[in-house]
Structure 1
Amino acid sequence: MSIFPKISLRLEVEKYLKEGFMNKEQFNGLSVPILQHPDLQDVLLIPVIGPRKNIKKQHCEAVVGAQCGNAVLRGAHVYVPGIVSASKLMKAGDVISVYSDIKGKCKKGAKEFDGTKVFLGNGISELSRKEIFSGLPELKGIGIRMTEPIYLSPSFDNVLPSYLFLQNLPSAVVTHVLDPQPGEKILDLCAAPGGKTTHIAALMHDQGEVIALDKISNKVEKIKQNALLLGLNSIKAFCFDGTKALKLNTVKDAEGKPPFLPESFDRILLDAPCSGMGQRPNMVCSWTLKEVTSYQPLQRKLFTVAVELLKPGGMLVYSTCTITLAENEEQVAWALRTFPYLQLQPQEPQIGGEGMMGAGLSLEQLKQLQRFDPSVVPLRDTDIDSLRDARIEDMIWLANKDCIGFFIAKFIKCKST
């Protein structure tokens, strides 16, 4: 994750290494261009191919739940708990066509399903139907190994794991907007699984202190594992509720554990819990209106704590991976009303579009926000031939636009509270 200039190689050496790393075994015959982002020197862009329409559907079928289906679209295999239905004679080793039940109508254990389902691709069953529905609690591993998913990208399992971290582009942009500097004390208030946390530490050249909080213990362990894997020593991760991270008494905590005294941090990232409606690919969202609207109050609690913990002159970056006005621009308008000593700041880099109207913000304020809106890109199929023929400029433009829905706002705290 450290940032270095591109290594200079002799042309014949670079060609030799490319041939080795882009071999057919490594990528199952898939050869895709990997591009360096022109504005983010530590970001490589990897195109995704699909949706592929030439996959032959099999007679033997398995149906998975909607959430499992979303995971498969994003590159996962099918795990046993996600399987709802399987053909009567399905055996281990069979080639299976996998479908997603997007309306939740398929009964668990059904032998066939004629309801609304979406084709996800083909895979090879690791277990028989009888084993999958045996009810044994220990069966939580891979049930179907996907071999022909409709969306295809190279596998990066165990490929330079101490140097590469897979993220959506806006997730990398938000850390650059925070602009962490060596020697600073920085808080990642809702940090799991740690992609942004480790990116912060890397941009600081691992010099300073990065505090990462999350209230779910196994997620905190994931942050620690990622920090260890990437060789980052400046990260301290704690299992702690971010809404309670402000220390209410004035007794100093010598151990550096949460809660923290007011005005303890130079910069704070609040990548807030949200309705997640910007995540892609996505086929279904079964949340109720009550669930969707429940995030705004929680985000405001966390934001209030973040403002109190920020030093005068410090930077606060607020972000979500959702598209709703209530969780994005309305939160910015609320913050500027509630905390008059906060000022909205322009962002660098500015890769997404400006904010959305409707929250009472001025046109100038909307220009200082950054909203990634994939709906601006017309739906299209990307195949290997189109990648080969595409110009680099067009591929980078597409990567900047055709990503997850995301929102970023950047504030400076002008005086002490």
Structure 2
Amino acid sequence: MSVFPKISLRLEVEKYLKEGFLNKEVISAFGKQEAERKFEALLNHLSHPPSFTTVRVNTHLASVQQVKDLLFHELQKQFNGLSVPILQHPDLQDVLLIPVIGPRKNIKRQRCEAIVGAQCGNAVLRGAHVYVPGIVSTSKFMKAGDVTSVYSDIKGKCKKGAKEFDGTKVFLGNGISELSRKEIFSGVPELKGRGIRMTEPVYLSPSFDNVLPRYLFLQNLPSAVVTHVLDPQPGEKILDLCAAPGGKTTHIAALMRDQGEVIALDKISNKVEKIKQNALLLGLNSIKAFCFDGTKALKFDMVEKAEGNPPFLPESFDRILLDAPCSGMGQRPNMACSWTLKEVTSYQPLQRKLFTVAVQLLKPGGVLVYSTCTITLAENEEQVAWALRTFPCLQLQPQDPQIGGEGMMGAGLSFEQLKQLQRFDPSVVPSWDTDIDSLRDARIEDMIGLANKDCIGFFIAKFIKCKST
């Protein structure tokens, strides 16, 4: 059941998305009424968290069963003895699924209030506590130890430091404040690691703040699917073209048993440092991360000795992952997006530049996987149609594992081509409530089926390069 309003978008953006989801091909196949129903369901689902928290086990350092046992004890501590099942995904053996309990409707709202920014609010719905940088306003009488109701300012209208706020706010649950109002707004840097410890969230998700950091990587389900679709093999040379923060990079290295070479590029230096830190923490030595713009990763001469640094010569890589920069419209929960239409539509040209570089860097016979965490037709199926027209050397490939649904109509792709794509579309499941009693009676197959469908919006396409360019 929906407890939050649908995602708040600028009218121009909602209209643009609607035109994509109600295109001629879709209406011809399903009818306007059904297409509109699905679109509204999608907007509703985007403002709610997925029904499962997904973590990937670092199989390089431990077995899935060892980590599952450690996690079970950790969750019992977090949930005060409540026994929440941990499921191993049958098609993704290194992935564990933890059900999200909620929405919980009988939480009593408190007189003491704290308003947090929309991003902080989204994190709370996925198990995070509230930290000082995310707090926008609190009641004037708030002191350490107070039971506090936490609200998300989804439209960004609350003034920093306000003592009350009557604008649009969404209730996220209750927590215990670790600081007084005066301390929260004092600007003291040491207090940034403290804030409000959530004790009664509307959605009960496990916190993974410093939980088994060497053995677990918090990752959305489709993000784990991508690397399995890429299917990296020991000894290969693989490029992750837009790699930060390194979840897929480290997954590639783990699936290769840390044998081979994984090159990770990102053009933001502190994000590259994060990739290096993650590789070190997870004990993976095959990863080399560089601060470099992926659109410039191709060179055509051997004049400079680069010692394995970017840019690279054509046809240097066995497999390439292009998890492209995108509008991110599939992320959940997301109660509000203030982006303009110009911002939402700005990614397609950049994705094509990166794709063009990737095709040239790929060896004949090599595999290229393209993915996004967005739902727009322009960044997904339209990019596939463009790629097949532009690069005759590419062939679309079936994917294994195939967990998401087929691609969306509207880009002129054939029925067979759509079946070879994976689109994770949360609108395909009805709204749900999960409580401990329903979990006890649930069949594992039904829970896995729900986890596969009710995740973030995501898209995957897999190509093989048939001949040299």
Residues 17/235 of structure 1: CA separation in 2 closer, same or farther (3 Å cut)? farther
> Displacement, 1:3?
39
Q: What is the TM-score when the length of structure 1 is the normalising length? A: 0.91
Alignment map for 1:174-323 (pairs within 5 Å):
174-251=226-303, 253-323=305-375
**How many angstroms apart in 2 are the aligned matches of 1:18 and 1:326?**
12
**How many angstroms apart in 1 are the aligned matches of 2:436 and 2:442?**
10
> Displacement, 1:298?
1.0
Task: With a CA cutoff of 8 Å and minimum separation of 6, indicate the structure with the bigger relative contact order.
Answer: 2
**How many angstroms apart in 2 are the aligned matches of 1:299 and 1:265?**
19
Residues 120/251 of structure 1: CA separation in 2 closer, same or farther (3 Å cut)? same
> Does the residue aligned with 2:342 lie in a helix, a strand or coil?
helix
> Displacement, 1:35?
1.1
> Displacement, 1:229?
1.5
**How many angstroms apart in 2 are the aligned matches of 1:6 and 1:99?**
16
Residues 377/227 of structure 1: CA separation in 2 closer, same or farther (3 Å cut)? same
Q: Which deviations, in whole Å up to 9, do the C-alpha atoms of 1:272-330 show, x marking residues without a partner?
A: 11111111111111111111011111111111111111111100000001100011001
> Displacement, 1:158?
4.2
> Does the residue aligned with 1:243 lie in a helix, a strand or coil?
helix
**How many angstroms apart in 2 are the aligned matches of 1:298 and 1:21?**
23
**How many angstroms apart in 2 are the aligned matches of 1:387 and 1:227?**
36
> Displacement, 1:122?
1.1
**How many angstroms apart in 2 are the aligned matches of 1:365 and 1:9?**
31
**How many angstroms apart in 2 are the aligned matches of 1:28 and 1:141?**
23
Indicate conservation of the 8 Å contact 1:2/1:205, yes or no: no
Q: Gaps (5+ residues) in structure 1?
A: none
Larger mean CA deviation between 275-284 and 176-185 belongs to: 275-284
> Displacement, 1:352?
0.3
Indicate conservation of the 8 Å contact 1:30/1:154, yes or no: no
> Displacement, 1:243?
1.1
> Displacement, 1:23?
51
> Does the residue aligned with 1:156 lie in a helix, a strand or coil?
coil
Do structure 1's residue 324 and structure 2's residue 376 form an aligned pair?
yes
Larger mean CA deviation between 392-401 and 241-250 belongs to: 241-250
Indicate conservation of the 8 Å contact 1:27/1:155, yes or no: no
**How many angstroms apart in 2 are the aligned matches of 1:52 and 1:343?**
48
Residues 92/359 of structure 1: CA separation in 2 closer, same or farther (3 Å cut)? same
**Match of residue 83 from structure 1:** 135
Q: Gaps (5+ residues) in structure 2?
A: 26-77
Indicate conservation of the 8 Å contact 2:229/2:401, yes or no: yes
Indicate conservation of the 8 Å contact 2:300/2:313, yes or no: yes
Larger mean CA deviation between 287-296 and 214-223 belongs to: 214-223
Larger mean CA deviation between 5-14 and 272-281 belongs to: 5-14
> Displacement, 1:138?
6.1
Q: CA RMSD in A?
A: 11.8
Q: Which deviations, in whole Å up to 9, do the C-alpha atoms of 1:208-243 show, x marking residues without a partner?
A: 000111111121111111111111111111111111
Residues 19/223 of structure 1: CA separation in 2 closer, same or farther (3 Å cut)? farther
Q: Which deviations, in whole Å up to 9, do the C-alpha atoms of 1:248-286 show, x marking residues without a partner?
A: 433363511111111100000000111111111111111
Residues 19/330 of structure 1: CA separation in 2 closer, same or farther (3 Å cut)? closer
Do structure 1's residue 15 and structure 2's residue 15 form an aligned pair?
yes
Indicate conservation of the 8 Å contact 2:125/2:205, yes or no: no
Percentage of pairs with the same residue = 93
Q: Which deviations, in whole Å up to 9, do the C-alpha atoms of 1:181-221 show, x marking residues without a partner?
A: 11000000111111111111111111100011111112111
Indicate conservation of the 8 Å contact 1:342/1:414, yes or no: yes
Q: Which deviations, in whole Å up to 9, do the C-alpha atoms of 1:142-200 show, x marking residues without a partner?
A: 32222222221233444433222221111111000000011000000111111111111
Indicate conservation of the 8 Å contact 2:4/2:170, yes or no: no
Residues 394/232 of structure 1: CA separation in 2 closer, same or farther (3 Å cut)? same
> Displacement, 1:93?
1.9
> Displacement, 1:68?
1.7
Larger mean CA deviation between 368-377 and 5-14 belongs to: 5-14
Residues 182/17 of structure 1: CA separation in 2 closer, same or farther (3 Å cut)? farther
Residues 58/268 of structure 1: CA separation in 2 closer, same or farther (3 Å cut)? same
Larger mean CA deviation between 6-15 and 284-293 belongs to: 6-15
**How many angstroms apart in 2 are the aligned matches of 1:307 and 1:2?**
43
**How many angstroms apart in 2 are the aligned matches of 1:230 and 1:216?**
22
**How many angstroms apart in 1 are the aligned matches of 2:380 and 2:5?**
36
Residues 21/416 of structure 1: CA separation in 2 closer, same or farther (3 Å cut)? closer
Indicate conservation of the 8 Å contact 2:326/2:379, yes or no: yes
**How many angstroms apart in 2 are the aligned matches of 1:56 and 1:240?**
50
**How many angstroms apart in 2 are the aligned matches of 1:15 and 1:273?**
22
**How many angstroms apart in 2 are the aligned matches of 1:332 and 1:9?**
27
Residues 221/167 of structure 1: CA separation in 2 closer, same or farther (3 Å cut)? same
**How many angstroms apart in 2 are the aligned matches of 1:119 and 1:3?**
10
Indicate conservation of the 8 Å contact 1:2/1:202, yes or no: no
> Could you say which structure has the higher helix fraction?
2
Larger mean CA deviation between 158-167 and 395-404 belongs to: 158-167
Larger mean CA deviation between 377-386 and 9-18 belongs to: 9-18
Indicate conservation of the 8 Å contact 1:22/1:31, yes or no: no
**How many angstroms apart in 1 are the aligned matches of 2:370 and 2:19?**
42
Indicate conservation of the 8 Å contact 2:24/2:410, yes or no: no
> Does the residue aligned with 1:165 lie in a helix, a strand or coil?
strand
Indicate conservation of the 8 Å contact 2:132/2:195, yes or no: yes
Larger mean CA deviation between 90-99 and 179-188 belongs to: 90-99
Indicate conservation of the 8 Å contact 2:136/2:162, yes or no: yes
> Does the residue aligned with 1:139 lie in a helix, a strand or coil?
helix
